[in-house]
Chain A
Amino acid sequence: MFTLSSRTAIVLGSFMFVTATQVTAQVSPSLGEAISEADLAAWDISIETNGDGLPDGSGTVTQGRSVFEAQCMACHGAEGAGQPHDRLVGGHGTLDSMQQIRTVGSFWPYASTIFDYIRRAMPFNTPQTLSDNDVYAVTAYILYLNDIIEADDVMNARTLRRVEMPNADGFVLAYPQRTDK
């Protein structure tokens, strides 16, 4: 048996430098198949906090209202008020109370996460069926309901990455070290 006891990662300042251990390099059968960026694009659905990964397309608050009422309201309530499932709106100022209400508006630190999550996981029973335009639109509608954007704002790859969430400063990093201690 080989072991992985030798540390293979060395942290150098803010970036990481990775060296192959001889042992693992020897035993790897190297069976991965090369794939081009174009051929893997369909799987690359995650959106980074700086907006990297946001696709082409756009959507308005008005379009988002129609998408929401047709595809989301049955589970998330009129105007995202919740019931039977997660409330998507409001809860501002409740985080320190015993009845804290965590919503997209009161809690989520990044707008990129809304697009990322809705596109990959919603509607719950038919995920990955909305068009990118519809995801932009319903994202715009949820942001509007939370008073984060205006009624006539349009969401696209350029505008969504600039949206600042109200609770962006509400988090304390616990990795690699707690930053408040």
Chain B
Amino acid sequence: MSKRDKQTADLEFVAGNGLIHRRMFLTQGAAMAGSLGLLSATPSHAEPLEIPPWMKAPGSHMSAYGQRSRYEDSVQRVVGGTPGVVGSGVSFTPIEKLHGTITPNSLHFERHHSGVPDIDPDGHQLLLHGLVDRPLVFSMDALMRYPTVTRIQFLECSGNSGTNLGPQAQQAPAGVLHGLMSCSEWTGVPLSILLEEAGVRRGANWVLAEGADAAGMSRSIPLEKMMDDAIIALYQNGERLRPENGYPMRLFLPGYEGNMSVKWLRRLKVNREPTMTRDETSHYTDVMLGGKALILTFPMGVKSLITSPSTGLNLTEPGRYEITGIAWSGAGKIARVEVSADGGNTWAEAALTEPVLSKSFTRFRMAWQWDGGPAVLMSRAIDESGSVQPTREALTREFGERRNYHNNGIQVWSVAARTGEVTNVYA
């Protein structure tokens, strides 16, 4: 028996096509944690070691504002726009090139409807009015003195993964298929404090939030959500918001579709009814088969995604790999993630990386022995409310095979025999 065969024989397989029990993964975790690709195989011979040039002279000086290594310059957002106008479009987070759960601010996805305004915080104000006892205006300086809360939570555009509802599976990196999402540590002022200060009147049910961009982006938010966990976010991952994320302040609504977390927030109007703005009627509504459309579709559904292997991150040779990805839900915490390597015939429970937070990214890992044959990889998340991530087929049965919002369907990656090439497939 060769060394590699012996290793394989020791493994505790839990599902078809080489999925290994997470107990094995956890006990061997320390040795495996650092490497994304091959977990362990018979070692080949390394070259004799030499002293590298960067140890033979001092490095560069301290800097006032840090930059990443120039060897990482290729990790970029993929920018797409509406041809002919500046400022309407998206840029995608390259999720397949990132790890952990926090999205770096420079790589946070963007969706703007009329560009990124260049707002001077001294000239920015927040108006709170409508069905309140006291209409109020808050300056930036005033808001900065309010008590804050800090939470690590995801933000996902409801158009994320929409391409995968089209009739043909597109071949693109995971970030281009699913990169309209991110997870950050957000710090801001609970909306409930400001609403109480203004005195919300009887009959109020909704709050219209409006941005100070050239689109005057506006969305109606249930008052209940505003009083629950909504914040006016001022800081993202410890620094003030980036302009493309709403500097100097944005609404942040945990678990709700991204468009509602209005950036460059300038006005909140307390209302009886939803205003039914263009971006909650013409857009961000889901047409079902039969032609009627779902409207006021707020929470993002339970979802997961294998980020590696994925398109472009091909397998190099048979052996042990870590399958990893992220799971999240607008309804709360992730309870469980299951992974399949045989197209959904058998499933095994993945290891979740602590801490598992509410309405946040949870990273999952699964050890896998690839035998060089064909494999079909899938992940399926279940959240604490018991909701199970649906298949693409279940969604298209209700909505048809056309680009739409709120696609939380299971992503299927096919791994080709021998070449290890990974492609996006539908089943």
Q: A98: which of B145, B295, B400 is its contact (CB, 8 Å)?
A: B400
Nearest first, the 10 closest Cβ-Cβ pairs linking A and B are: A32-B136, A120-B216, A96-B291, A31-B142, A95-B291, A175-B296, A117-B278, A9-B227, A171-B295, A174-B297
Which stretch, B10-18, B54-62, B94-102, B207-215, touches the partner chain A?
A: B207-215
Please report which residues of chain B, range 136-152, place their CB below 8 angstroms from some CB of chain A when the two chains form the complex.
136-139, 142-143, 145-147, 149
User: Chain A contacts of B291 at CB under 8 A?
Assistant: 95-96, 100, 170
User: Chain A contacts of B297 at CB under 8 A?
Assistant: 174-175
Q: Which residue of B lies closest to A175 (CB)?
A: B296
User: Chain B contacts of A162 at CB under 8 A?
Assistant: none
B53 to chain A, nearest CB (A): 49
Q: Which residue of B lies closest to A83 (CB)?
A: B84
Q: Does A161 contact B (CB under 8 A)?
A: no
Q: Does B402 contact A (CB under 8 A)?
A: yes
Q: Does A134 contact B (CB under 8 A)?
A: no
Which stretch, B29-37, B67-75, B196-204, B366-374, touches the partner chain A?
A: B196-204
Please report which residues of chain B, range 59-87, place their CB below 8 angstroms from some CB of chain A when the two chains form the complex.
82-85
Question: Number of residues in B with C-beta < 8 Å to the partner?
Answer: 76
Question: Beta-carbon contacts of B272-297 to A below 8 Å, as 1s and 0s?
Answer: 01111110011001011111111111
Q: When chains A and B are docked, how far (Å) is the Cα of A8 from the Cα of B258?
A: 24
- Which residues does B use to contact A, with CB under 8 Å? 82-85, 88, 113-114, 127-129, 134-139, 142-143, 145-147, 149, 167, 190, 192-198, 200, 202-205, 208, 210, 214-216, 218, 222-224, 227-229, 266-267, 269, 271, 273-278, 281-282, 285, 287-298, 400-402
- Select the residue from B139, B193, B274, B400 with max chain A CB neighbours within 10 A: B193
Given contacts A33-B136, A120-B216, whether A174 and B193 have CB atoms under 8 Å apart is no
Contact B224–A9 (Cβ < 8 Å): yes
User: Chain A contacts of B208 at CB under 8 A?
Assistant: 46
A111 to chain B, nearest CB (A): 10
Contact A48–B282 (Cβ < 8 Å): no
Given contacts A11-B224, A30-B197, A84-B83, whether A102 and B282 have CB atoms under 8 Å apart is yes
Question: Beta-carbon contacts of A92-135 to B below 8 Å, as 1s and 0s?
Answer: 00011010101010011110110011001100110110000000
Given contacts A8-B227, A25-B196, A108-B281, whether A121 and B269 have CB atoms under 8 Å apart is no
Q: When chains A and B are docked, how far (Å) is the Cα of A18 from the Cα of B228?
A: 11
User: Chain B contacts of A174 at CB under 8 A?
Assistant: 294-298
User: Chain B contacts of A108 at CB under 8 A?
Assistant: 278, 281-282
Contact A36–B135 (Cβ < 8 Å): yes
B82 to chain A, nearest CB (A): 7
Contact A4–B192 (Cβ < 8 Å): yes
Contact A16–B205 (Cβ < 8 Å): yes
Q: How large is the interface on A (under 10, 10 to 19, 20 to 34, 35 or more residues)?
A: 35 or more
B204 to chain A, nearest CB (A): 6
Q: Which residue of A lies closest to B266 (CB)?
A: A43
User: Chain A contacts of B267 at CB under 8 A?
Assistant: 43-44
Given contacts A31-B142, A45-B216, whether A113 and B196 have CB atoms under 8 Å apart is no
User: Chain A contacts of B210 at CB under 8 A?
Assistant: 46
Contact B146–A29 (Cβ < 8 Å): yes
Q: When chains A and B are docked, how far (Å) is the Cα of A127 from the Cα of B211?
A: 14
A11 to chain B, nearest CB (A): 7
Contact A121–B129 (Cβ < 8 Å): no
User: Chain B contacts of A32 at CB under 8 A?
Assistant: 128, 134, 136-138, 142, 194, 197-198
User: Chain B contacts of A124 at CB under 8 A?
Assistant: 85, 88, 114
A114 to chain B, nearest CB (A): 8
Contact B271–A48 (Cβ < 8 Å): yes
User: Chain B contacts of A121 at CB under 8 A?
Assistant: 113-114, 214-216, 278
B114 to chain A, nearest CB (A): 7
Contact B202–A40 (Cβ < 8 Å): no
Contact A84–B138 (Cβ < 8 Å): no
User: Chain A contacts of B214 at CB under 8 A?
Assistant: 121, 127
User: Chain A contacts of B197 at CB under 8 A?
Assistant: 28, 30, 32
